[in-house]
Each structure stands twice: as structure tokens, then as C-alpha cells.
Structure 1
Amino acid sequence: MAADYAIPAASLELSEEIKKSRFITLLAHTPTVEEAKAWICEVKRQHPTARHHCWAFVAGAPQDSQAYGFSDDGEPSGTAGKPMLAQLMGSGIGEIAAVVVRYYGGVLLGTGGLVKAYGGGVGAALKQLETRVKRQQRPSLICCDYTDMGAVEALIAAHQGQLLTADYGQQVSLQIAWDTVIWTQVAQELTDRTHGRVSLRPLDG
């Protein structure tokens, strides 16, 4: 069963100067890989004269390796994107992207200095980032007669079910997403409230 996890509640920007180079670290909520890449492109447009736009993202659940990505964007291999990604992975936060914009100041930092600047910038920003918990949800199907709609609607309201689709034909067919941790409880309550006439069917197998 998938676990709940933290996601960014707001974007964050942090700036520091290291040996005459300015490093601007930006964090944002990016639920998908496509959104992460689009946001990275937007940051590049906002900083067209910067020397480097190094980035990393975990654009999904924290443990979803298929949602990982990173780039050194011209810095020596392994000195920017990987340290940034390591910070994101270590935070346990999901759906997050980071860009570190570097305005070069003419002084070389060396491999260790770059790792510290990029990884450290993301680490410092993460400490200031506001987060909220993303609850895992399970989609379900409810089919019922109109006479049972009162009980169904009361159950949805009581447990903050999220209505996905509704089809009002001869019977009512509703797709509802519930917090995964209470799904079994909701299913039992629905059966009890309707005296077995209505049941909750999972849509995710």
C-alpha cells in the first residue's frame, strides 16, 4: 500500500554568493515529469544571461525512481545535478524540482566546491521549504438506486470522498476517490448503512 508523503506547499527561492559567483536555488511543486521540465524551461527563460541552469527533480512519489531526473548543464560531470538530486531524495519530499542558477563570477570553485555549492544550496533551501502531506487515494465505483443516494451522499461527506465522475441513468453510478487508509472502513460503512444493497468496488484492482 502506497504511503502518504510530503510535497512542497509553496515555491522557494534562495540566493547566495560564493567566490564572486551568484547561486540562486529555486524549488517548486511539480507533480509530473512534464511539469518539472516545463518549470525548468521557465526558469531558464527568467535567467537568460546565467552561465548554468543545473537541475534535478523527483516528480512523483519519493521512492519512484522513474520520476527522477538531473542535469549538470555544462558544469563538470557529477558536480551539480547528482548532488542536487541526492538532497531531494534524502529529504523524503515528493513532486519537487530544483534549479540552481549560476551567474559566473570569474573564480573557479573546483570539483568539491561545486558539489558543495549546488548540493548545499538545495539542502539549505529544503530546510526552509514549507510542505504539506499528500494523502494517497484509492478510486472506487458505487452503483446504487436513487433511494440509497441519501446514505451514499452522507458517507461521501463524512469521509471527504472526492467525486471523480457521476452518471445518473436508471441507476446512479459514481466514481469516488477515498484516502487509502480508510478505504476498508468506508466499504464496511456503506454496506451497513444500505443494509447490503450497495457495495464499494475498487477501480485499481
Structure 2
Amino acid sequence: MSSLSTLASTATGRQEIKKSRFIAVAGPVSDEAEARDFIATHSDLTANHNCWAWRIGQGYRFNDDGEPSGTAGKPILQAIDGQALDRVAVVVTRWFGGVLLGSGGLMRAYGGTAALCLRSAERIALLDTVPATVSCLFGDLALLQARLTALVGVQMQSPAFTETGADLILAIPRGDAEAVAQMVTDLTSGRAIVRLIE
């Protein structure tokens, strides 16, 4: 099972460094579109800079928003990764206070404000899951839906209906995948077909 976590809800953190104000806002995101929406929603157009980063699985992006290259977005991403977080977006907004911080100072300010925000945030453990499809007949659908939704950690999308039944799209905790597949086979006397997608 993975030791990664995501955030339970949106969190904020603030610092003032040499008269510049830094405010970080972090939150959970499930895909790139949601990350872009989060960044747009939490950027302040009256500020000098809205620097950001997000990580979703192997995908990530970061942006320095006018700060010297590598001094803002990358340290924010390092704060996310350093705290073993996934499916998280962070925006750090800066109001310039008149004192130049230099490259090292900017990296510490942006990364530090992001880390401060993330440390105070409530977390939820992410399960390492295996995608699966269960093809079943209409007669087995209600029973399978009831039993699968009762299992801890199993996530199910709405069924895709076929001529004779439905396909259920699941995410099953990796350690439980074989047991869940066996349960489906047993409940339906082998009529349902389980495909684990590795």
C-alpha cells in the first residue's frame, strides 16, 4: 500500500519576509483540469506574483509567474513531494515589499510558505489501487453493487449498461484485489467476469 496522502480540504499559510507578504493556499485536486481551476480560483490578480505547482501521480507542473526561473514553482513542488503528498495543488501569492530577496531567499520564501501551509493541513491517506472491470448480468447487478460499495476502499463509478447487463468500473485496494475478484465470482456462481487492469 502506498504511503502517499492528499489533503482533506483547502488549507492556507502566511509569512512576511523582509516586508514581502506570502500567502499559500493548498487543496486536493483529482486531475489537471481541476488543478488549473484551483490555481485560477486562488490567484490574486492584485498581487505581484501567483506562483504555483501541482502533482497528480507521475504528472506535475509548476510556474514561476515572473520570478527568476527556478526560484518559486520548483520549490513549491519540492514542498509537495517532500511531504509525500499527491493529488495536491498549491498557489503561493506574493505582494512585493520593496526589499529584494535574491534567488536563495526567493526559493526559501516560496518553498517555506508552501511547506508551512502543507504541514498545517489535514491529510487523508491514499490507497494504492488497481483498476478493474466487472461485467455482470442484470440479475446479479443489484447484489454486486450492494456488496462492492460496502467494501472499505473500493471505489465504483456508475455502471455502463450493455444489452444483457452492465460493466462496473472499479478501483480496488491492491492488497484486496484477488479477494474481491473471488468474492464477485462466488456471489454470481461464475457468471460475472472480473478483469484486473495492471
TM-score tier, shorter chain, comes to: 0.7 to 0.9
Aligned to 1:144: 137
Aligned to 1:188: 182
33-42 vs 101-110, which moves further: 33-42
Counterparts in 2 of 1:62-77, with a 5 A limit? 64=58, 67-77=59-69
Q: CA 1:55 to 1:184, structure 2 compared with 1: closer, same or farther past 3 Å? A: same
* CA distance, structure 2, for counterparts of residue 140 and residue 33 of structure 1: 24
Aligned to 1:50: 47
Q: TM-score by structure 1 length?
A: 0.82
CA offset digits 1:75-134 (Å, max 9, x no partner): 112111111111112221111111111111111112221111011111111111111123
Task: Tell me, yes or no, if structure 1 residue 130 matches structure 2 residue 130.
Answer: no
Determine helix, strand or coil for the equivalent of 2:159.
Answer: strand
* CA distance, structure 1, for counterparts of residue 63 and residue 17 of structure 2: 21
Say what the alpha-carbon RMSD is for the aligned residues: 2.4
2:8 maps to amino acid: A
Contact 1:19/1:105 (8 A) holds in 2: yes
Task: Tell me, yes or no, if structure 1 residue 173 matches structure 2 residue 188.
Answer: no
1:140 maps to amino acid: T
Counterparts in 2 of 1:36-115, with a 5 A limit? 36-44=35-43, 47-58=44-55, 60-61=56-57, 64=58, 67-115=59-107
Counterparts in 2 of 1:146-165, with a 5 A limit? 146=139, 148=140, 152-153=144-145, 155-159=147-151, 161=154, 162-165=156-159
Contact 1:164/1:174 (8 A) holds in 2: no
Determine helix, strand or coil for the equivalent of 2:69.
Answer: coil
149-158 vs 94-103, which moves further: 149-158
Q: CA 1:104 to 1:178, structure 2 compared with 1: closer, same or farther past 3 Å? A: closer
Q: CA 1:51 to 1:201, structure 2 compared with 1: closer, same or farther past 3 Å? A: same
The one of 107, 112, 117 aligned to 2:109: 117
Identity %: 34
Q: TM-score by structure 2 length?
A: 0.85
* CA distance, structure 2, for counterparts of residue 194 and residue 113 of structure 1: 63
Contact 2:133/2:168 (8 A) holds in 1: yes
* CA distance, structure 1, for counterparts of residue 186 and residue 76 of structure 2: 51
* CA distance, structure 1, for counterparts of residue 66 and residue 138 of structure 2: 63
Aligned to 2:27: 28
Shift of the alpha carbon at 1:183?
2.1
* CA distance, structure 2, for counterparts of residue 92 and residue 204 of structure 1: 25
Aligned to 2:14: 15
Runs (5+) with no aligned partner, structure 1? none
Task: Tell me, yes or no, if structure 1 residue 202 matches structure 2 residue 195.
Answer: yes
